[in-house]
Amino acid sequence: MCLRRSVSFLLLFGALVAAAGAHQATGFKLTEPSATGITVWTRITRDAERAADDRPLPITQIFDRATGEVLRLRDNAAYPNGRPVITFPTGADLGSIRGAAVGAPGQTRVRYRPAGQNAWSSTAWRDVDPARDFTATFALSALVPATRYEIVVEDRAPADAAPTSTTTGGFVTAPDAKAEVSATFCVMSCQQYEDRDRPDGFAIYPAMLALKPDFFVNTGDALYYDHGPVHALTLELARYHWARMYSLPTLRDFHRQVGSFFMKDDHDTLTDDSHPGARTGDFTFADGLRTFREQTAPSEPPYRTVRWGRHVEVWLLEGRDFRSTREHDRTQTPTILGAEQIAWLERSLAASDATFRIVITPTPMVGPDRAAKDDNYSNTGYAVEGAKIRELLARYKNLTVITGDRHWQYVSRDAATGIEEWSVGAASNAHAGGWDEKTPRPAHRFLRTGFGGFLSGEVKVGASGPALTLRLNDTAGSVVFSGEKAAQK
């Protein structure tokens, strides 16, 4: 069965089963929390649970469009001239292969209230959008700052029917920008499906949840389109990657309880080190940008700040949308952030009155990185713009950089500017690597390789003033390195 016929069949089948119920196998996400609002991402699925891990996988093949030659499927590879052919074992389709949670039509709504109160607010029922993978988003507004909310997401198949699926959760809104309050947060990166460390997902999710973070940031590589036996060579397979990852129980449980900010990098946009204009099979870089927005509901523009009380402001940088093309880089100075974003970064840093400025970047600004890489500001190909950005950041006291992308944990300090960078590491031990712990560089204050983990941060307001503590945690949540920064005046 070809993939196109398979998808058409599934859409028809979804319509036929709509009368039987609507489900939430991929849960919901709470994104872009602020003092007065949050976005609720929802999706209706055909089945109540993801397809079992003993289900078969499709056979993914790629052929050269010009010669017809069979191309070998390799991790981290792109196939710009490839023609994908996806076939399914007998009795299987896109909705029943291993880990699948295919979408279905229906209606969804959100009910919410401050924790402990009796009265609920409710959105109107809304149809999910088949053109956007059967998702819907709700922008809740006029919320009370610094307040914990309870939330219920309900689904139903036909209009006026009783709900057939109900999922509960909660989140906390940000404090007012002048509030003298503490803040806690977690940051993670680089989770590959094949490298998960529990049958139900990843150990870091319950470990992070145990810390009760106010908010969470995923710096990118939330999944790897270009790894494993099923590369995302089509839009349908890209959506399959999102569904199988975010239907894992540990991820579902975490995201229904914590407000999140999603940033993207190369592997969850298209392929390794991907640039605008690239493609692999029938899936393009532009498709990847749209799919990321479809699945994570980020705000626009994708670079933005997060204010969490008097003492914390976080900058979330965008590292793919404005990056120059490979053709541009041959004749002009390469850029990662682009002129528009750099101008915004300069303005917003200068305008901030937060005690601590935290810049979160999908890829390193300080490093060091491996000599063979050329995808970030610590690499020689981006040395000109990298020096410019580090000089800009160095103008501000109490500024720290947090990066994802690298599969090892480190804390380093740039010799020229003094900028300090914390690398959160990979999401699991199996996905860690890339550096030898026995060969630290002078820039390293801390270096840990071969093990995954995440970063947790906390700002406390004490008698002597506010202080920022950053911690690198292992996958179980134990602290492997920490540093406290008192506010410099």
* pLDDT tens figures, 128-137: 999 999 999 9
| pLDDT, average across residues 347-367 | 98
Residues 19 and 128 grouped into a single domain: yes
Give the containing element (helix H, strand E) for 188: strand 183-188
CA dihedral over 315, 318, 322, 328, signed as positive or negative = positive
36, part of any domain = yes
Q: Is the pLDDT of residue 4 over 60?
A: no
Pairing of strands 82-87, 135-140: unpaired
Average pLDDT, the chain: 94
Q: In whole angstroms, give the CA distance from residue 291 to residue 277.
A: 15
Quick one: what percent of the chain has pLDDT higher than 90?
Answer: 92
Beta-sheet pairing, 215-218 with 183-188: parallel
Q: Are residues 166 and 195 in the same domain?
A: no
Residue 61 has a pLDDT of 95
pLDDT at 283: 98
pTM of the model as a whole = 0.95
Total number of domains constituting the chain: 2
Between CA 222 and CA 303 the distance in angstroms is: 17
Does residue 327 lie within any of the structural domains? yes
- For residues 93-99, average pLDDT: 95
Residue 27 has pLDDT above 90, yes or no: yes
Residue 89 domain-assigned (yes or no): no
Residues 125 and 205 in one domain: no
- Residue 13 in this model has a pLDDT that exceeds 50: no
Task: Evaluate if residue 440 carries a pLDDT over 90.
Answer: yes
pLDDT at residue 159, as a whole number: 86
Give me the pLDDT at residue 158, please: 84
Burial 369-391 (b: 16+ CB within 10 A, else e): beeebebbbbbeebeebbeebbe
Domain final residue pick, 112, 141, 172:
172
**One domain for residues 15 and 104:** yes
What number of helices (H) and strands (E) belong to the chain? 8, 26
Residue 5 clears pLDDT 70, i.e. is over it: no
One domain, residues 330 and 375: yes
Residues 126 and 209 in one domain: no
Shared domain for 380 and 437, answered yes or no, is yes
Assess whether pLDDT exceeds 50 at residue 480. Answer: yes
> pLDDT tens across 167-217, in order?
999 999 999 999 999 999 999 999 999 999 999 999 999 999 999 999 999
Q: Which two tokens stand for residue 381?
A: 């190909």
Here the CATH number for the domain that contains residue 358 is: 3.60.21.70
Confidence label for 454 from pLDDT (cuts 50, 70 and 90): very high
Which of 172, 194, 211 is the last residue in one of the domains?
Answer: 172
Q: What is the pLDDT of residue 330?
A: 83
Residue 259 lies in a domain: no
Same domain as 29, residue 166 = yes
Do residues 409 and 450 both lie within one domain? Answer: yes
**Mean pLDDT, rounded, for 377-383:** 96
For 9, other C-beta atoms within 10 Å of its C-beta total 14
pLDDT score recorded for residue 12: 39
pLDDT digits (tens, 9 = 90+) for 300-321: 999 999 999 999 999 999 999 9
Residue 31 is assigned to a structural domain of this protein: yes
Domain containing residue 15: 3-54+99-172
- Residue 26 domain-assigned? yes
Residue 316 and residue 360 share a domain = yes
Domain co-membership, 314 together with 168: no
Residue 475 resides in a domain: yes
- Asked if pLDDT for residue 18 goes beyond 70, the answer is no
Query: What is the predicted pLDDT for the residue at 464?
Result: 87
Please enumerate in sequence order all residues whose Cβ is within 8 A of that of 236, keeping only pairs 6 or more positions apart, or say none: 3, 7, 94
Shared domain for 105 and 208, answered yes or no, is no
- CATH code for the domain in which residue 118 is found: 2.60.40.10
Of the three residues 138, 172, 206, the one that is the final residue of a domain is 172
Is 430 part of a structural domain of the chain? yes
R_g (Cα) of the chain, nearest Å? 22
Closest CA to 448 of 408, 401, 413: 408
